[in-house]
Amino acid sequence: MLYYFLIKNLIDITYNVVMISDENIKTLQALIDKAKNIVFFGGAGVSTESGIKDFRSKDGLYALKSKYGAPYEVMLSHSYFEYNTDTFFKFYREFMINKEAKPNAAHIYLAKLEAKKNLTIITQNIDGLHQMAGSKNVIELHGSIHRNYCQKCMRLYNLEDIEKMENVPTCPHCGGLIKPDVVLYEEPLNEQVITKAIIKMQEADLLIVAGTSLRVYPAASFLSYFFGNNIVVINKESVPINRKISLEINDAVGEVFSKLK
């Protein structure tokens, strides 16, 4: 009898969890269906299901013991790039470039949603997976591994060009150092990108914040420009956000979006 009681309660608990999850999905679907202008604000957690490590989780890049002496977070700074260029590129090629990564359910759902809704993606990621999935309205706050430029003559190079070069890529035309078009620590965001992101935030009536800890500034400060009524947060861990939230789902982003229509 006791065994039956324990099993029954376990089933009831499991059933309730599933029902709560289903209710969250229904609520999220309703918010998306009702919205006229949506901004999806995404961080590293959007791409973890594609096999790309995030930065600050317990299994993230910054939790790993560095192979190069300096902590990986330090190696992503402009100062390190300037004074330890050779080591920077060894690290960059190993951890920042992942040619095997493919769009996951989150990227694919957003690309399909863009065909039906006025949707803008504002991403902190540099992997280009949103574009690979087919999204067009993408604002890349921190740049992209797919764009590179010579610091001397400003010629542009794609990722394939960089991969064919030696560890430290140099311009074959002028000999200048080629830098990935990514924003490192100590570097400012592009002003035109900032302006575009702020405008899209102000126009939105639904903001979906996903896969981000909101610890990186100034990117996290963009939320203050959202004046709509509904904020949805999707992240494996709770996010400290000083705003009224309509819905919070603590789960993987792709897992959540795979259940939407």
C-alpha–C-alpha distance, residues 32 and 24, integer Å: 12
Residue ranges in 99-219 assigned as alpha helix (H): 105-114, 129-133, 159-164, 191-203
CB 29 within 8 A of CB 261: yes
Find, among 116, 103, 115, the residue nearest to 42 by Cα: 103
Residue type, 160: E
C-alpha–C-alpha distance, residues 10 and 23, integer Å: 20
CB 142 within 8 A of CB 182: yes
Among candidate residues 78, 107, 130, 142, the one labeled active-site is 142
Pull the structure tokens for residue 64: 């790993």
Residues facing residue 148 across a β-bridge: 157, 180
Cis peptide before 240 (omega within 30 of 0): no
Find, among 246, 180, 236, the residue nearest to 29 by Cα: 246
DSSP conformation class of 119:
E
Residue 78 falls in the annotated catalytic set: no
DSSP conformation class of 120:
E
Residue ranges in 35-115 assigned as alpha helix (H): 72-75, 78-83, 85-91, 105-114
CB 41 within 8 A of CB 222: yes
Give the active site residues: 142
